[in-house]
Amino acid sequence: MLSTIAIFDYDGGGLGTFLRALHVLAGIAWIGLLYYFNLVQVPSFAAYGDEGRARNVSIDKLARRALWWFRWAAITTFVLGILIMGLTKDYMQDFMTTTSTIGLGHSAAILVGMAAGTLMMLNVWGVIWRNQKVVLANAAGVLGGAEANPAAPGAGRAALLASRANLIFSFSMLWFMIGAAHLYGGFDVNSAGKAWAFVGIAVAVGGIIELLALGLIGGKAATNKLLWPFESHKNALISGGVLWVVLYVLSEILLKTSAFG
């Protein structure tokens, strides 16, 4: 067992229901703002053209507030998820055994969802917010009459790549988080090895995407053709859909006794 603390049962209890409701509510705020940034704000700011002051005002007044809610919704979602896992009896039921059929499907799916969510939260605080602080300070400084910070464009680029990576991850993260209880919990999994293989492949693929977004494979410049998935919100949407399809097909193959059976 990976979790055997029995504070409340998996399907019941007021505390469990309350924490799950807060987890979902915070997640809606987090992912909703992620989609806002990628699908609305970034394309809109790019359309400002030469209207530098208008863009800086928007960054200083609008983006600053949105980023506050964004980063705190992310960490709240993460902490509540950890609490739910730690306080629920047998949340990772029988993942280390080969005898369970119900627990393996749920555990494999939730681990993939949790891995994606954790990586996304680390991107928010370790990459996006760290770099956006430079962008925000630059906008406020320019509005106050200071010279533009030459580091701001690079910081903005780094934040954008990480945000696009989170957009790509979000489809699969949401699918496996929800599917853990409503789909994969009923899969007839008969092999812990297959379940671990699914988790391992999913994490490896996600790791490659993350390394690309961080510029650790080929750099962060637009000339790096490997960054195609991150160069526009449309590319990210396509890439996120492809990632979800790949992981879904893989789950059908590895998390069922008979593939597509």
88: left (phi over 0), alpha (psi -120 to 50) or beta: beta
For residue 175, tell me if it sits in a domain.
Answer: yes
* Interatomic CA distance for residues 60 and 54, integer angstroms: 10
For residue 4, tell me if it sits in a domain.
Answer: no
The answer to whether the Cα torsion of 46, 52, 58, 64 is positive or negative is positive
For residue 8, tell me if it sits in a domain.
Answer: no
Residues ≥6 apart with Cβ < 8 Å to 210: 119, 123, 165
pLDDT in single tens digits along all 261 residues of the chain = 344 334 444 444 578 788 999 999 999 999 999 999 999 999 999 898 878 899 999 999 999 999 999 999 999 999 999 998 888 776 665 444 444 455 678 888 989 999 999 999 999 999 999 999 999 999 999 999 999 999 999 999 999 999 999 999 999 999 999 988 778 766 666 677 888 899 999 999 999 999 999 999 999 999 999 999 999 999 999 999 999 999 999 999 888 754 434
SS3 8: strand
Residue 13: Cβ within 10 Å count: 14
Among candidate residues 162, 90, 94, the one with its CA nearest the CA of residue 125: 162
Domain of residue 229, residue span: 14-254
For residue 7, tell me if it sits in a domain.
Answer: no
* Interatomic CA distance for residues 61 and 134, integer angstroms: 15
Full-model pTM: 0.89
b/e 57-78 (16+ beta carbons within 10 angstroms → b): ebbbeebbeebeebbebbebbb
Instruction: State how many domains the chain has.
Output: 1
For residue 30, tell me if it sits in a domain.
Answer: yes
Q: Residue 93 in contact with residue 107, Cβ under 8 Å?
A: yes
